[in-house]
Structure 1
């Protein structure tokens, strides 16, 4: 899942488990180098070795997260700081979800992600951050207790889907939209089951929902059922109830 862009300079650059600065900061990211097909045919000899690094990232993620217990992922903008209502709402939602027996997983960055980790820690829960190598972020926020840094977005996305029992999507930008639609696609295609997706913030998200209804649904590119795969709300109680109900359904049905 990408984070939303930040314009402020940072002192450090995170590259997987490494922390770099100054002349050690690379000019491209690992994902860029993987996906770049231009230039010489040297990639033929390099890509097999990249597979080993990708494999190592999967192993590190699985090994680190296998025992965290029930968890909910929270997504949202890196740009919405402590002075915003979105940040305060994220803190409270996170606290309430921890009280209901969940760990909290975020992208580990600033803004809404920081708020989710802060709320989890304040409630005495497990605060998890899954970071990603980006040119404009300096690593995990100070409220992450269990942090894993990834080079590859697709590995990181797998961890969110595998170890979360649901997604809470707070106001955000391109990265948040990517996470929202990725989750919708996985539920729509049956790759994950009984997986609640909650958009929090009616004023922020209503325009997107209206467009999906008047364009996608009207043109027949999605179905009525697809519009029922997520919930739009401003009610924190409803967020907690939706997650808890889905978990209860899983346990009764014998699903993981």
Structure 2
């Protein structure tokens, strides 16, 4: 638990007083406020492995990570380092072989993907699913889990940069480009309004024009973030630059983690962030 104390420090014995949700420190009969910042997502000694023909291959190894509320966090690192596996473990698509996952202080390790969705976790795949015969409005309504008006649906589409009148009645099928489908999927995440929204390499399979639009969407999401957090798996510098915090994963473990301004300089100045991550990790291993 991270705590920040406001008020003059002293060596005198202090008494802790809790009034409602606020925590105070009593010193000499005076009360000074302390702010307690709760971690929304906590991963403790998380591990995941698969059995191959000869032995158990560890993909995630005793990984510890905390994500606070109202944060835009980007996870990056070399290909095969465990980034997408980590996202799937959090969402419940894969089950860890060790460790614990907590959401808002509640242990969700044994919950399946449906139960985690009900707890407030949404997951967007690298390649969104196409639903032949289902219109965009129906998809948004199903995602929201409530009675959704046309006005509400149009608002979600507008937030991801789509002209609502051109898309609200379209089928979610092969007539949509990869970029259009990605933005519609993000609109479904907005409609759900979850605590934790996970996007696994959202830039995959889209053209440059669609990528520019996607960046604008994520910038708006970062600006409007409230009562939740966003976790994105990505190699892209433009997405890394939006982040509050960056987590670098290599060989199933965290090699770097911290505020964007501290971490991003280590990842730039080379051919790609992937190469930089690899070089940094290999340097530590040496």
TM-score range, shorter chain: under 0.3
More strand, by proportion: 2
Alignment TM-score, normalising by the size of structure 1: 0.28
More helix, by proportion: 1
Work out which of the two has the higher radius of gyration on C-alpha atoms and give 1 or 2: 2
Alignment TM-score, normalising by the size of structure 2: 0.26
